[in-house]
């Protein structure tokens, strides 16, 4: 969400940003917001004047009541008339004040609603494009290889290890769920544990957050469209299941004033994630690429505005380092303007190489959200000079099995169907160097 003063002073820049994101239907919002803001400020000013006038009249009546007790005859009648006139004016002002307060609430609600819909100002370095087909490859890490044997579909690889049961999950929960078993389940947890320790080694504080959050936190961390397409609401309660631990991790700081010397806040968190996966992509019925429930290790940073781009570059590089340590080739893909969620200033995907598909696919997403989440959640920092300002917030996937397992199994698969375990994962797999298919 943008600063209303910025919209008021820079309406053309806001309109141009909306056009860059190919959201022309939102252009009328700029004029609506400016109009609502003017009406709200006028109502607040008039209401403030009326309250001052009411106080003035009430104070004026105090001495008049004292004089009334001592006065007689015509003088007494004149004082009473003045008191009555003042009280009539107070009553009339109170009626107008009530109407203005109702208008204020109405203007404020409409303004807040419209402000949530206006996208954040994107960074000048973001490539302009309408959708993800216009995302730009920046660089590759590791050599993408295609083995001289056929690489099976990922669930078929898992099935060779008796490691997955989608049929039972279908009966129990429906599409978009799975059972992981045996070595594959252990590998899943090994990757999560390794990712946790990897980030702790980078100086991040490990955290297990709440897996349900209030509606005002949801509104603070994501756009309305994302909320509707992703979040599961708990019926009858003001609680939502998290789609990623970023939601509750950033929400941790809601309504807080942070001392500047406590920044940056660098946290890495584990959580299950729950997603509707509505829209064009939908649920993948056979595989485990798009599912309703999965686990993830996340990283978030809350920092000074001048440090956020430095952290952005550092965070996606952590993802590259992690995947390369498991012998998985990856590339960095810069997200274009039309592919950025409304709160994002800049974002990139880390994509892993799929030997079976002979192409890359998304495994991590790193985003700089500027001060948008901080403004929505009222997260502030108290500087050394005593002044308050909004911090910047960032998030990035450390690792998200089982999607990551697809890349891992395909890139570490041997011709005999066994799977090599990279050295960094062996301590989490009881020293196992290779997984061998079940007979």
Residues pairing with 141 in the sheet: 330
Q: Is the pTM of this model over 0.85?
A: yes
pLDDT digits (tens, 9 = 90+) for 111-141: 999 999 999 999 999 999 999 999 999 999 9
Give the rounded percent of residues in the chain with a pLDDT score beyond 90.
79
The predicted pLDDT at position 402 comes to 82
Query: Domains in the chain, start-ordered, CATH in brackets?
Result: 4-117 (1.10.287), 132-435 (3.30.930.10)
| Dihedral angle, C-alpha 352, 353, 358, 360, nearest 10 ° | 30
Quote the CA–CA distance of 435 and 421 in Å, as a whole number: 7
Position 52 scores a pLDDT of: 81
234 pairs with which residues across the strands?
none
The pLDDT value given to residue 401: 86
Token pair belonging to 317: 């590089």
DSSP string, 273-291: EE----SSS---SSSSSS-
The model's confidence at residue 169, banded by pLDDT at 50, 70 and 90, is: very high
The pLDDT confidence band at residue 285, using thresholds 50, 70 and 90, is low
Is the pLDDT at 97 greater than 70? The verdict is yes
Average model confidence (pLDDT) across the chain = 92
- Buried (b) or exposed (e) across 160-196, using 16+ Cβ within 10 A? bbebbbbeebeeeeeebbbebeebbbbbbebbbbbbb
pLDDT value of position 88: 74
**Dihedral angle, C-alpha 348, 206, 388, 119, nearest 10 °:** 30
Q: What is the pLDDT of residues 187-202, one digit of tens each?
A: 999 999 999 999 999 9
The Cα 174–Cα 8 span in angstroms is: 49
Averaged over 410-419, what is the pLDDT?
A: 96
Q: Dmax of the chain from CA atoms?
A: 116
Nearest to 372 by CA among 305, 420, 272, 424: 305
Scanning 71-214, the segments in alpha helix (DSSP H) are: 73-117, 154-160, 166-172, 182-201
pLDDT digits (tens, 9 = 90+) for 296-306: 999 999 999 99
CB 287 within 8 A of CB 180: no
Per residue in 52-85, pLDDT tens? 877 776 666 666 666 666 666 777 767 677 766 7
Give the whole-angstrom CA distance, residue 111 versus residue 94: 25
């Amino acid at each position: 969400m943008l600063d209303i003063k910025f919209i008021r002073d820079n309406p053309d820049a806001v309109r141009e940003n909306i056009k860059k994101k190919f959201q022309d239907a939102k252009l009328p919002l700029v004029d609506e917001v400016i109009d609502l803001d003017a009406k709200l400020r006028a109502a607040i000013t008039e209401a403030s004047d009326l309250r001052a006038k009411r106080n003035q009249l009430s104070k004026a009546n105090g001495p008049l009541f004292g004089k009334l007790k001592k006065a007689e005859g015509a003088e007494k009648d004149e004082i009473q008339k003045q008191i009555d006139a003042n009280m009539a004016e107070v009553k009339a002002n109170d009626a107008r004040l009530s109407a203005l307060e109702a208008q204020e609430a109405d203007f404020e609600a409409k303004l807040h609603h419209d402000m949530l819909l206006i996208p954040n100002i994107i960074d000048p370095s973001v490539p302009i494009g309408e959708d993800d087909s216009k995302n730009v490859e920046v660089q590759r890490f590791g050599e993408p290889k295609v083995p001289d044997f056929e690489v099976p579909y990922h669930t078929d690889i898992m099935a060779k290890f008796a490691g997955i049961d989608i049929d039972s999950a279908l009966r129990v929960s429906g599409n978009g769920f799975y059972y992981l078993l045996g070595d594959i389940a252990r590998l899943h947890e090994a990757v999560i544990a390794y990712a946790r320790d990897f980030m702790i080694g980078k100086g991040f504080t490990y955290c297990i957050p709440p897996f349900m959050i209030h509606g005002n936190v949801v509104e603070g961390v994501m756009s309305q469209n994302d909320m509707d397409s992703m979040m599961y609401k708990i019926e009858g309660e003001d609680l939502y299941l998290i789609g990623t631990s970023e939601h509750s991790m950033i929400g941790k700081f809601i309504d807080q004033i942070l001392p500047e010397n406590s920044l940056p806040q660098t946290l890495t968190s584990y959580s299950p994630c729950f997603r509707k996966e509505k829209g064009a992509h939908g649920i993948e019925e056979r595989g485990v690429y798009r599912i309703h429930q999965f686990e993830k290790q996340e990283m978030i940073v809350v920092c000074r505005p001048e440090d956020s781009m430095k952290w952005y570059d550092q965070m996606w590089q952590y993802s590259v380092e992690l995947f390369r340590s498991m012998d998985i080739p990856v590339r960095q893909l810069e997200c274009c303007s039309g592919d950025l969620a409304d709160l994002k200033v800049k974002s990139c995907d880390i994509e892993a190489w799929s030997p079976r598909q002979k192409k890359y696919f998304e495994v991590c997403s790193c985003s700089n959200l500027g001060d948008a989440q901080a403004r929505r959640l009222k997260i502030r920092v108290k500087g050394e000079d005593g002044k308050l300002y909004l911090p910047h917030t960032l998030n990035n996937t450390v690792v998200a099995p089982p999607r990551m397992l697809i890349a891992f199994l395909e890139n570490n698969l041997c011709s005999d169907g066994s799977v090599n375990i990279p050295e960094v994962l062996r301590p989490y797999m009881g020293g196992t160097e290779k997984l061998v298919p079940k007979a």
